[in-house]
Structure 1
Amino acid sequence: MAVEKIRGIVLKEINKGETSKNLIVLSKGIGKIFMYARGARKSKSPLMASSQIFSYCDFVAFENKNFYNINQAEIIDNFYNIRTDIEKLAYSSYILELVEKTCPENMECDNIMLLLLKTLSVMSKTDINPRFITRVFEIKYMSLMGFMPETENCVFCGNDSHLNYFSKIEGGVMCDDCKKKGIDGGIISNGALQSLRYILKSDVSKVFNFRVSDDVLYELSILSKDYISSHINMKFKTLDFAESL
């Protein structure tokens, strides 16, 4: 069997037997894959640290049916500071769960991996509000997954002015005239709309380079969570915990 070098980040770890782990890893060039870390739960295992969630590593492994068996691993970054703050840890765990549950298997998604790494780096190395980081990630992630909301023209009539409402079902802004016709949609402020436009148009390297008021962050939180629930029929326990803090 050919040995491969795989760069990836651990999204989930699952105990296997008494001493080993199954891992779900988002990898460069391959996408979401399953890996097996034999003996990783032993106290002296060289794979102990690299098999934990958030570990961004270079793995040396060989493919065996539907799994990659890990021979060795070198940690590039473990985003350690995330683990020292309960709010950062809670929201970062949710971000991993969102990717783990929704990103397709064995399909190259390097753009999503870049976004995830940038997000965890900002979460770990800055004092930016974890809720803000999470909302930006959600919106950018959904767009990369093919669910980009329309922010320039009314999703019903194409009008490009008086865009004061947002339809989570249709996935975009709605004008005053269409709202008057009784079409369902919630109010969106200019601040929230401009934030959406910035997130969607920005390169991943610059996507966190703006700030919003508490009111706009609250609005983005509701909009983002409603938008995700309208397009992804899943529950995320980690999000429930993070939002309870």
Structure 2
Amino acid sequence: MSLYKTKGIILRTHKLGEADRIVTILTSNLGKVSAVAKGVRKTKSKFGSRLEPFMHVDLVLYKGRNLDIVTQAEIIDSFSGIRDNFDRITYGSAMLDLTNKVAIEGERDVALYNLLLKGLSVISGVKKNFRLLLIAFDIKLMAISGYMPKLERCVVCEKGLGAKMHFSFQWGGVVCDDCKVSDRNSIVVTPAAVETLSRLLRRPLLEAIDMDVIARTEDELYLLMHDYIAYYIQARLKSRECLSQLACS
């Protein structure tokens, strides 16, 4: 076995045997890595809480035959503000969940790593607009993952957009009223939602929480991004279902 060092964000954990856990980590230079943390569930574990979701850590690992083994972990940032607030936990978990779904094992993705790091940093300190922040995170993640939607012109005919338009999941962007007739995978979208989504895509994450967006437009964007993500990842995310239940309660 060979030893290596890396920095990473803990995405998720699950139990292995009586005392161990498998830890899924988004690393800065190696992409997503799954590794075993031996004895981490014991009361006197040397890791303590350093290998829990949200933790940003310095790691030392051994390269194993099937799974790598974590031997050391030191906290860079615990993002303690997230765990102190239920809304932050819920929306932060949605960030981790989607990142885990799109990240590829062993494939370096610096842009994704930096986006998640920034997302957790921002949500750890904010007191409002959690959902708008998540929408901004989602559209940026989709863009760097190769699914940036076209928002300025009709993605089919390249013509300018009128007052009536649709968002096409199949074509990956906005379509005019004429072109939508041949696309079953589209939904009606308002000009306000398209303009706001374009602004969220261009602006830094931190600025999203200060944007003045009316509730109706935010609701529309949340459902739009929910469906857009579901269309491309072809999977149900438990964290998103949790958010939907909260919205209905």
Q: Normalised by the size of structure 1, how large is the TM-score?
A: 0.91
Q: What pairs with 1:20-169 in structure 2 (closer than 5 Å)?
A: 20-162=20-162, 164-169=165-170
Sequence identity (%): 32
Paired AA for residue 169 in structure 1: Q
SS in 2 for 1:58: strand
Q: In 2, Cα distance between the equivalents of 1:127 and 1:207?
A: 13
SS in 2 for 1:153: coil
Paired AA for residue 101 in structure 1: K
Residue by residue, what CA displacement relative to the aligned partner does 1:197-231 show, whole Å, maximum 9, x if unpaired? 22333456766663422111111111101111221
2:133 and 2:205 in contact (8 A); partners too: no
1:14 and 1:22 in contact (8 A); partners too: yes
Q: Which moved more, 1:127-136 or 1:143-152?
A: 127-136
Residue by residue, what CA displacement relative to the aligned partner does 1:81-121 show, whole Å, maximum 9, x if unpaired? 21122222122222212221232111011111111111111
1:14 and 1:21 in contact (8 A); partners too: yes
2:7 and 2:28 in contact (8 A); partners too: yes
SS in 2 for 1:87: helix
Q: 1:215 to 1:190 in 2, by over 3 A?
A: same
Residue 140 of structure 1 and its aligned partner are, at CA, apart by 1.1
Residue 19 of structure 1 and its aligned partner are, at CA, apart by 1.4
The equivalent of 1:178 in structure 2 is 179
Q: 1:19 to 1:126 in 2, by over 3 A?
A: same
Gaps in structure 1 of 5+ consecutive residues: none
Q: In 2, Cα distance between the equivalents of 1:207 and 1:38?
A: 40
Q: In 2, Cα distance between the equivalents of 1:204 and 1:221?
A: 16
Q: In 1, Cα distance between the equivalents of 2:161 and 2:98?
A: 34
Q: In 2, Cα distance between the equivalents of 1:71 and 1:130?
A: 35
The equivalent of 1:243 in structure 2 is 244
1:23 and 1:36 in contact (8 A); partners too: yes
Paired AA for residue 34 in structure 1: S
Paired AA for residue 68 in structure 2: Y
Residue 30 of structure 1 and its aligned partner are, at CA, apart by 0.7
| Pairwise CA RMSD | 2.0
For these two proteins, the number of residue pairs brought into alignment is: 244
Q: 1:221 to 1:21 in 2, by over 3 A?
A: same
